[in-house]
Amino acid sequence: MAQTSNDIKNGSVINLDGKLWQVIKFQHVKPGKGPAFVRTTIKDVISGKIVDKTFNAGIKMEFETVDNSTLQYSYRDGDNLVFMDMTTYDQIMIPASLLGDQEKYLLEGTDCIVSSHNGTPIAVELPASVVLTITHTEPGLQGNRSNAGTKPATVETGAEIQVPLFINEGDRVKVDTRDGSYLGREN
């Protein structure tokens, strides 16, 4: 059975010109005049680029199957990251380039969602936030106890983030994995 643009749903993965795009949101539009169409917001599965695209209603499309599985990060091996499937204990090598800058927030034992297409990993999604320990930061100056200022701090993975002046070495902080921003202190 051939699939058409009428079959688009949130989460569908479509193949456009050899690239995989995931549908973030869609809307079927039937104007009073003219043909119906489907307005979508789609995300490039590999690069993460988000674009708006409109398709005519009923055109044939190539839908792809993408498998998502939760894997636990184990360690880095050269240019690859080793993840473990906690149900089968299989180790899966994934190129570090799939994570890009997000790798600096990846801690051993972190569960990630790995998307695969035809058995090949195409994307790794980290949790929205992680808790990391501050390994180095300058002490805050006496009297600087407000949220007004920030200072650089290095976390246990080696990433440098901006934290409030009252944060000290050894403190555990919550960090947003998308942009590296400080979200709060953990106990």
CB-based contact 21:42 (threshold 8 Å)? yes
Q: Which residues pair with 43 in a beta bridge?
A: 22, 50
List the one residue out of 105, 98, 83 whose CA is nearest residue 158: 105
Q: Which residues of 131-144 are buried (b: 16+ CB within 10 A; e: fewer)?
A: ebebeebeebeeee
Give exposure, 93-127, as e/b (b: 16+ Cβ within 10 Å).
ebeeebbeebbbbbeeebebebbbbeeebbbbebe
To the question of pTM greater than 0.95 for the whole model, the response is: no
pLDDT in tens, 29-71: 999 999 999 999 998 887 778 999 999 999 999 998 888 899 9
Instruction: List the domain boundaries for the chain.
Output: 5-64, 67-125, 129-186
CATH topology assigned to domain 129-186: OB fold (Dihydrolipoamide Acetyltransferase, E2P) (2.40.50)
Overall CATH class of domain 5-64: mainly beta
pLDDT at res. 43: 87
CATH of 67-125, one of 2.60.40.10, 3.10.620.30, 2.40.50.140, 3.40.50.2300: 2.40.50.140
- Determine the Cα–Cα distance for residues 26 and 23; give it in Å rounded to an integer: 7
Question: Could you say which residues of the chain have pLDDT below 70?
Answer: 1-2, 140-148
Helix (H, G, I), strand (E, B) or coil at 21: strand
* Residue 102: DSSP 8-state: G
